[in-house]
């Protein structure tokens, strides 16, 4: 049976069942602190030793958002638990945050990868901003400190963009430049603005939106390309021979077009401008035109500059970000076609991506919607995208007078 996907009750219940896939057995109270990051389809933890910065931050986000939505005080100590792990385990003397850490048989922590990724710092900001909203006042200091680190080490005023990665002691800058870290910084900075009301964060989020969805997109068929060289020139060849690369795939990513669409509409709430809605529509509509699978349903992972599909796999986060963008577009424009897209994406996801037995979403399916393996949530997932998308639709309802579904 299909649910009423536009119902607030449905969205709240789906958040609860998704979170309960992880809670409470995700909490590591005895090994190294923080949370466990690797889950099989049935919730079995298959790696108790490895900690990834992205999962560590996203668990803080998950619990802080749940507290803000449901006012359940049982989540408060878990937010603190996650913040402590970020500051005591991931944070390094350099001021950066280790990308990957692991405990040995004696439960001693070791750094596996100390690379300082801009992407990781974006999620440190996001986690602290949501925690600040939830009442953790010390997070304001962390936000300010990470902002200054990003200003001094990553931001390139000449290009109005952030570089991607620096080594552990901040002595070597990698030549790769990418839009993904900048997109998630835009997301984090919008949340920082909401948490602090400091307009420096809002203004920088707007700058990033202009850089990637207007300036750079004008050279990229009006869309957002992923990869650049050190002078921020488009690198059309990067990973051309590896379009399925997990972190830096070649091709246009429909999920990032729609994720930018969502961010532009959030920015429009705080700083209304006509171009934000226009670009949001263009990015979403073009992504659906090229990537919706009319045979098997769902949104494909990647398409080439000529519009052909280069990766037909179905990823959970692409569907989630896209239904959130569709809902925000429906409210911003009043165009019913976006509610049609919202329901269509949800119907596909409900049928294929959501695990109705154990909870949460499957991470990745083949083009014809078959599982590759039984690893539902390896490091990095945590269903931050799926629950976050539901929260965003709920928030959009709340911001519209009489907007209860």
Is 52 considered catalytic here?
Answer: no
- Residue pair 159/179 in contact (Cβ under 8 Å)? The answer is no
What does the pLDDT read at residue 1? 58
Q: Is the peptide bond before 24 cis (omega within 30 degrees of 0)?
A: yes
Average pLDDT over the chain reads: 96
Evaluate whether 249 touches 239 at the Cβ level (below 8 Å): yes
pLDDT bin (cut points 50, 70, 90) of residue 403 is very low
Domains and CATH numbers, the chain: 8-399 (1.50.10.10)
Which residues are CB-neighbours of 196 under 8 A, at least 6 positions away? Answer: 129, 132, 140, 143
- Please give the average per-residue pLDDT across 248-272, as a whole number: 97
Residue 201 CA from chain centroid, whole number: 18
223/214 Cα distance (integer angstroms):
9
Using the predicted structure, report yes or no on whether residue 107 has a pLDDT greater than 90.
no
140 exposed, middle or buried (CB, 10 Å; 0-12, 13-18, 19+)? middle
In this model, does residue 401 exceed pLDDT 70? no
Quickly state the pLDDT bin for 216 (edges 50, 70, 90).
Answer: very high
Q: Is 340 a catalytic residue?
A: no
pLDDT digits (tens, 9 = 90+) for 185-204: 999 999 999 999 999 999 99
Please tell me whether residue 249 adopts helix, strand or coil conformation.
Answer: coil
164: left (phi over 0), alpha (psi -120 to 50) or beta: alpha
| Distance, CA of 26 to CA of 237 (rounded, Å) | 40
Residue in 14, 256, 290, 352 annotated catalytic: 256
3-state secondary structure of 262: helix
Q: What is the pLDDT of residue 405?
A: 37
Q: What is the pLDDT of residue 404?
A: 42
pLDDT tens readout for residues 157-192: 999 999 999 999 999 999 999 999 999 999 999 999
Q: Examine the pLDDT at 124 and tell me if it is beyond 70.
A: yes
**Which pLDDT band holds residue 3 (cuts at 50, 70, 90)?**
confident
Q: Model confidence at 243, in pLDDT bands (50, 70, 90)?
A: confident
Contact present, 118 and 164 (Cβ < 8 Å):
yes
Map tokens 């280790």 to a residue: 98
The answer to whether residues 287 and 280 touch, using CB atoms and an 8 Å cutoff, is no
Residues 6 or more apart whose CB falls under 8 angstroms from that of 51 comprise 32, 34, 37, 85, 89, 90, 100, 101, 102, 379
Query: What stretches of 35-180 adopt beta strand conformation (E)?
Result: 38-40, 45-47, 50-52, 100-103, 109-113, 116-117, 155-156, 161-162, 165-166, 177-178
Instruction: Please tell me which residue in 37, 90, 117, 385 is annotated as part of the active site.
Output: 385
| Spatial distance between the Cα atoms of 192 and 400, rounded to a whole number of angstroms | 22
Reduce the DSSP state of residue 212 to 3 states and report it.
Answer: helix
Residue partners of 34: CB distance under 8 A and separation at least 6? 28, 51, 56, 59, 81, 82, 85, 86, 89
Query: How many H helices and E strands in the chain?
Result: 12, 16
Reference 292, options 262, 266, 257; nearest CA is 257
> Could you tell me the two tokens for 92?
């390094």
């Amino acid at each position: 049976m299909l649910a009423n996907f536009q119902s607030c009750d449905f969205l709240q219940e789906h958040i609860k069942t998704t979170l309960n896939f992880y809670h409470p057995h995700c909490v590591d109270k005895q090994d190294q602190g923080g949370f466990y990051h690797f889950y099989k389809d049935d919730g079995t933890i298959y790696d108790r030793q490895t900690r990834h910065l992205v999962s560590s931050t996203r668990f803080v986000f998950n619990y802080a958002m749940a507290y803000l939505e449901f006012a359940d005080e049982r989540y408060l100590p878990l937010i603190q638990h996650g913040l402590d792990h970020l500051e005591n385990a991931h944070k390094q003397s350099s001021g950066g945050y280790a990308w990957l850490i692991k405990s040995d048989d004696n439960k001693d922590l070791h750094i596996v990868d100390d690379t300082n990724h801009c992407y990781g710092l974006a999620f440190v900001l996001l986690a602290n901003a949501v925690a600040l909203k939830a009442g953790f006042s010390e997070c304001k200091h962390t936000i300010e400190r990470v902002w200054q680190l990003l200003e001094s080490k990553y931001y390139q005023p000449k290009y109005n963009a952030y570089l991607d990665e620096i080594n552990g002691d901040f002595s070597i800058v990698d030549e790769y430049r990418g839009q993904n870290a900048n997109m998630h910084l835009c997301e984090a900075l919008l949340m920082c603005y909401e948490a602090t009301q400091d307009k420096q964060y809002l203004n920088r989020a707007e700058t990033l939106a202009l850089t990637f969805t207007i300036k750079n997109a004008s050279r990229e068929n009006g869309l957002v390309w992923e990869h650049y060289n050190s002078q921020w020139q488009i690198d059309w060849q990067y990973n051309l021979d590896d379009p399925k690369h997990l972190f830096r795939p070649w091709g246009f990513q429909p999920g990032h077009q729609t994720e930018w669409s969502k961010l532009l509409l959030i920015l429009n709430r705080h700083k209304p401008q006509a171009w934000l809605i226009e670009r949001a529509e263009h990015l979403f509509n073009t992504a659906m035109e090229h990537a919706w699978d009319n045979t098997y349903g769902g949104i494909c992972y990647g398409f080439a500059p000529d519009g052909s599909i280069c990766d037909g796999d179905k990823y959970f986060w692409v569907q989630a970000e896209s239904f959130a963008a569709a809902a925000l577009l429906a409210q911003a424009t009043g165009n019913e076609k976006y509610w049609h897209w919202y329901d269509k994406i949800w119907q596909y996801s409900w049928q294929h991506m959501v695990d109705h037995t154990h909870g949460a979403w499957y991470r990745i399916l083949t083009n014809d919607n078959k599982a590759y393996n039984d690893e539902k949530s390896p490091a990095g997932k945590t269903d931050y995208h799926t629950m976050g998308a539901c929260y965003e639709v709920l928030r959009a309802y709340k911001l519209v007078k009489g907007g209860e579904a």
